[in-house]
Amino acid sequence: MTGNSSERSGARRLKVAEIAQLAGTSPATVSKVINGYGSVSDATRQRIEQVLSSVNYSKKPVKHVTSRNIALLIDRMDHPWVTPMLSGAMRYADRNGLNLIIVSRTDDDGALSPYYLQFLRRAKPLAVVVNTADLLDKERELFASIHAGYAIIDLRGNVASEGLEVRLDNWAGGLEVGRHLIGLGHRRIAIITGPDDMMCFRARLDGCKAAMNEASIPLDPSLICPGDEWSELARRQTLRLLAMENPPTAIFATCDTQVVGVYDAAHQMGVDIPGEVSVVGFDDNEYLWHAATPLTTVRQPYADMTERAFRLVLESEDDDPDRKVLIPPKLIVRDSTGPVRVR
């Protein structure tokens, strides 16, 4: 008896992830029960509490939350989607009487900050929303150690290997763009793509190609242009496209930052938008709402996605630890697209 007691007292304390595996649920759901927050079904709660009791987990389930913090962990602060994500996070915090903590993973030079994990450890947030699928093992370990559920919003379209996730249906967005342009009579549609390591760009391209395929419109390979996340390469590609003997009547820029270059090139060559070429973007970034020619684009509801991610962690009774929520896109039609002009 003494030997067994000694072994039990010296046994390694189980991690939240291990308890979740024993209970047949997710680490986030176990954290809810341990910390006493969020919605958990009675059956799941009972199952978790039985496991906690059976392994003599030292921290008993509590009825009141000890922390009122939630955290938004941002990979880089220089992207246009950061401000609306902050808006969504603040909206959720205000509605639920929570404190919002904003943490950057990187320093001013773009290198991984050595301090952000220490800050999160001290803050002990109930939930963390992260805007990258490329989580490090040490980040997952930290979330588990402080019993923080987490969800991912990767706006690059890269799918998280594990964990809760909210992302836009980029393929459906590309499909909507293609159908819109085809409905206006366009048949020569150029597409400026993005970096190969960002799956959102591939999905948008494939969606637009699917719309052309369903309309039996052949795709001219010379109208598919490699691009990046910025405007200069898009400007050069647009100059090439508009100088073609048979130029496109529409250009789909697969992110709004490319549109700045497309607009510059069209202005440089004296090409009217949308009279001579229609232009569609993707993201609905605020700085293009009031351009000389307001942009037709696909809206990414960054604020709503962020709020949805926090709800997924703190309010969902779904026990699926790898639940993926796909947000439908919305095409916002403004002045940069119009009927094709008969040449």
- Per-residue model confidence (pLDDT) at position 193: 98
Q: What is the pLDDT of residues 159-181, one digit of tens each?
A: 877 789 999 999 999 999 999 99
Tell me the per-residue pLDDT of 266-280, one tens digit each, with 9 for 90 and over. Answer: 999 999 999 999 999
Q: Is the per-residue pLDDT at 143 higher than 60? A: yes
Structural domains of the chain ordered from first start = 2-54 (1.10.260), 69-169+302-327 (3.40.50.2300), 170-301 (3.40.50.2300)
Tell me how far CA of residue 157 lies from CA of 37, 62, 305, 319, in angstroms.
30, 37, 13, 24
Q: Is it the case that residue 4 has pLDDT exceeding 60?
A: no
39-91 pLDDT tens trace: 677 788 788 888 888 888 765 444 444 678 999 999 888 888 899 999 999 99
Decide: 48 and 19 in contact? Cβ < 8 Å: yes
**pTM for this model (two decimals):** 0.80
